[in-house]
Amino acid sequence: MEVENEQKIDVEKSSDILNETSTTKSFKVFISYSWSSPSHEAWVVSLAERLMSDGVDVKLDKWDLKEGHDKFHFMESMVNSSEINRVLIILDKKYCDKANERSGGVGTETQIISPEIYSNVSQEKFIPIVRERDGDGNAYTPAYLTSRIYIDFSVDESFEVSYDQLLRGIYQRPSRVKPKLGSAPAYLFEDAPNSFRTSTILKSSETILSKYPERTNSIVRNFVDEFYTCLSEFQIEFKPKMLMIDAGKLICDCIHSATPLRNEFFDFFEILFKNNVTFDVDILIKFFEKLPRLENEPVKSNRVSVDGDQYKFINRELFLYIVALGLKYERYAFLKDILHSKYFFTTYHGYTEKPANFFKLHSHITSIDSYYRQTYSMNFISPMADFIIKRIPKGLSKNDLVIADYLCYFISELYPDLNSHDNWFPITYIYKDDKYFDILQRLISQRHFEKVKGLFNVQAISELKSLVLQYTDKMKKEKYRNHGFSNAFSTLYMVGELIDVDTLGSAI
């Protein structure tokens, strides 16, 4: 985060850079894949649409091959054309089998591609993309591609990382280049104390915390203060009269550019939780209280307010990660404080609002929805949920994140904020594979209840029973049943459906 101009996304400058790149060189790719299943084809089309939205001219049979065309001539012309900069080979089991057997359209493409690969063509023209792995975790790659370096798209949760690698490969803009030789930092020769940044704190935190545990609170405070400063630099300047879809793309791009910083936040707190380091939770609460200041910076587009949308998304992510880490490492006392404390959120102008619950950190972001729905043909149930799931950091599973989202929802339902209409809706619930919630199912055990009771801010089993029954009765009287998204097949479970009050604490 050392160079502010690299973090600040200026629309006019971004457009100038894009135009300059486009006039210098036009990037075209051809996608070779197997019609394995409707879902696989939809994934390929979604990838192609994403590339098109990022300035890559994609040649795809779905929109370039018309009735009456010779499909084999189309394939050959695409592979051999000097105008095609990259050939993306989407590898799944069916593609691999057909390529090895030289059968079907894939077999024909293989006969065209393999001689090109073995000849003296540019090594980077053909990019294998692994979409599927076998039961042992091995990538499905045909024989002629076994020695080629591929990009791994087999894990949906890591899509954004893989996509960034692919896009950089197409545009020849690697994420790592040999840096220029600089000079020694001036602070090494000064008596003044170092000014720490998040990366420096992160690198030394584990060692310092183990040697000097009494410095824990000052290290945590220093980290979140530096993090807030770095995060505040991810501002966006919008062109006048900008369309919502263009604003949405800028917002999504900004969120992507802040990912390395977000990862440092996650890694720092995972170190604390993993090593069972105790710190003053009020430091983190005050940090979350400040975050809405970033959301409220007065920047607007011509139609709908999009000010701070990048921060609304990131702030929600940060809170979810903290809850997920607390669950993963069973920091239930910490979670009680985070979930049940009152927050004195402050505005952009520094005004302190009425005390509120954490629900305020949940926002629906129209700009992201607009960008997704107009960029992709796939009918996403929740674009924001898809975006969050694809950005899960290493160290968390999809289930970890969904359970954390659900827990925030349960607390907001059991303890509604009477001073606000804000609520926490678990948009990622559509990615829950089953009805099993380990932390709730285990409440049959008295021992487990004693461990997790702080999550529900109760002291006795009878209190939890009463809380759940009151909520269930209220829902019945109001004839209320929240089915979640209207176009989703997944069920949004209510807390009364997952906690069996008759068996609570019935076992040891």
Are 501 and 423 within one domain?
A: no
Which secondary structure element, helix H or strand E, spans residue 472, and what is its range?
Answer: helix 461-477
Does any domain span residue 270? yes
Cβ-proximal residues to 482 (8 Å cutoff; 6+ apart), any chain:
492, 494
Are 420 and 448 within one domain?
A: no
Task: Provide the CA 486 distance to its chain's centre, in angstroms.
Answer: 23
pLDDT at 194: 39
Number of domains in the chain: 3
Among residues 321, 475, 484, 480, the alpha carbon closest in space to that of 405 is found at 321
Among residues 33, 60, 29, 261, the alpha carbon closest in space to that of 166 is found at 29
Among residues 144, 54, 50, the alpha carbon closest in space to that of 106 is found at 144
Domain termination residue (choose one: 429, 461, 483): 429
CA distances from 214 to 188, 207, 217 (A): 26, 13, 8
| pLDDT tens digits, 49-96 | 999 999 999 999 999 887 777 777 788 788 788 888 899 999 999 999
Q: What is the CATH number of the domain that holds 94?
A: 3.40.50.10140
Structural domain that includes position 266? 198-429
Does any domain span residue 180? no
Are 129 and 274 within one domain?
A: no
The 3-state DSSP class for residue 250 equals helix
DSSP 61-91: HHHH--TT--HHHHHHHHHH-TT--EEEEEE
Domain termination residue (choose one: 429, 450, 467): 429
Are 210 and 122 within one domain?
A: no
Are 340 and 482 within one domain?
A: no
Are 211 and 317 within one domain?
A: yes
Are 21 and 160 within one domain?
A: yes
Does any domain span residue 178? no
> In the chain, which residues have pLDDT < 50?
1-24, 186-187, 190-196, 299-304
Are 407 and 441 within one domain?
A: no
Domain termination residue (choose one: 119, 136, 171): 171
Are 33 and 91 within one domain?
A: yes
Does any domain span residue 182? no
Are 416 and 442 within one domain?
A: no
Does any domain span residue 187? no
Does any domain span residue 322? yes
Task: Please give the span between the terminal C-alpha atoms of the chain, in angstroms, as a whole number.
Answer: 52
Does any domain span residue 184? no
Does any domain span residue 491? yes
DSSP 420-463: -------GGGGG--SS--HHHHGGGBHHHHHHHGGGGT-SSHHH
DSSP 4: H
Are 418 and 358 within one domain?
A: yes
Question: What pTM, to 2 d.p., does this model score?
Answer: 0.77
Query: Rounded CA gap, 424 and 500, in Å?
Result: 23
Among residues 335, 305, 308, 306, the alpha carbon closest in space to that of 320 is found at 335
Query: Rounded CA gap, 147 and 159, in Å?
Result: 23
Sign of the alpha-carbon dihedral angle for 413, 415, 320, 328? negative
Are 140 and 274 within one domain?
A: no
